[in-house]
């Protein structure tokens, strides 16, 4: 398969879902929401290198659980959030397997932690004010895990992984702010554009398979 076919299909189906598919019937909308994720899982599967195995396996499983989260958010916010949480844990496991420590990367924990604290504080205040206290613990856990996932991605030194993880944080920040704090203009396109971009970059964050060297011919012409 041409290496550009799946990326083109991913972009095309993402645009189709974000801008062209109507909200009703809901089942059709959900189907088209998941198609880009199916394609990204296939893309990651085809790109996965033989080694290191742990990174590729964790990314694939993380993509799968995030796809489940996509489908389940409309059924139950907590169940969908839990699926995304599991997906992030697998991303973290993959990123930790590619850990490349440096002080410059390590100090990025500070702005990530500060951002998570500030956004999390506003979310918790809104949940209390709106009488949604059962969501306090799930939201705190999610903020902690996605923040650590973003930092772990930076510690890999892999640009696509880090950029994808930070876009994931941006996407979920817009979603949570729009849902619990106040309306965000164009929230739908902003959430899904940053989300699909994040997942695609994470799926692209390990090197593609390298072709096996051809066996040298044993017969030579005189």
Model pLDDT for residues 123-152, shown as the tens digit of each residue: 999 999 999 999 999 999 999 999 999 999
Q: Distance between CA 40 and CA 202 in Å, rounded?
A: 10
Report pLDDT for 217: 45
Q: Is the pLDDT of residue 183 over 50?
A: yes
Q: Distance between CA 132 and CA 77 in Å, rounded?
A: 12
Res. 221 pLDDT band, cuts 50 70 90: very low
218's tokens? 């044993």
Phi first, then psi, for residue 219 (nearest 5°) are -100, 130
Q: Is the pLDDT of residue 106 over 70?
A: yes
Express each pLDDT in 4-13 by its tens digit. 899 999 999 9
155's tokens? 């510690």
Provide the mean pLDDT of the chain.
91
Q: Distance between CA 55 and CA 165 in Å, rounded?
A: 15
Q: Is the pLDDT of residue 212 over 60?
A: no
Report pLDDT for 51: 58
Q: Distance between CA 75 and CA 185 in Å, rounded?
A: 24
Contact status, residue 177 vs residue 154, Cβ threshold 8 Å: no
Helix (H, G, I), strand (E, B) or coil at 130: coil
Contact status, residue 155 vs residue 100, Cβ threshold 8 Å: yes
Q: Is the pLDDT of residue 87 over 80?
A: yes
The ranges assigned to domains in the chain are 5-203
């Amino acid at each position: 398969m041409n290496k550009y076919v799946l990326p083109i299909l991913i972009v095309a189906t993402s645009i189709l879902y974000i801008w062209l598919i109507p909200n009703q019937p809901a089942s059709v909308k959900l189907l088209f929401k998941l198609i880009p994720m199916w394609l990204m899982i296939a893309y990651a599967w085809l790109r996965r290198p033989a080694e290191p195995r742990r990174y590729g396996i964790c990314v694939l499983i993380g993509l799968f659980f995030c796809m489940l989260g996509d489908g389940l958010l409309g059924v139950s916010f907590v169940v969908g959030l839990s699926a995304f949480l599991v997906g992030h844990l697998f991303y973290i496991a993959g990123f930790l397997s590619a850990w490349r420590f440096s002080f410059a990367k390590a100090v990025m924990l500070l702005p990530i932690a500060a951002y998570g604290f500030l956004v999390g504080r506003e979310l918790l205040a809104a949940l209390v004010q709106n009488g949604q206290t059962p969501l306090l613990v799930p939201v705190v856990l999610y903020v902690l895990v996605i923040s650590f996932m973003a930092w772990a991605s930076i510690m890999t030194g892999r640009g696509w992984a880090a950029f994808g993880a930070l876009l994931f944080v941006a996407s979920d920040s817009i979603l949570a702010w729009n849902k619990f704090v106040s309306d965000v203009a164009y929230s739908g396109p902003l959430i899904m554009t940053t989300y699909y971009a994040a997942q695609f970059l994470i799926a692209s964050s390990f090197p593609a398979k390298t072709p096996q060297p051809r066996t040298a011919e044993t017969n030579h012409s005189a």
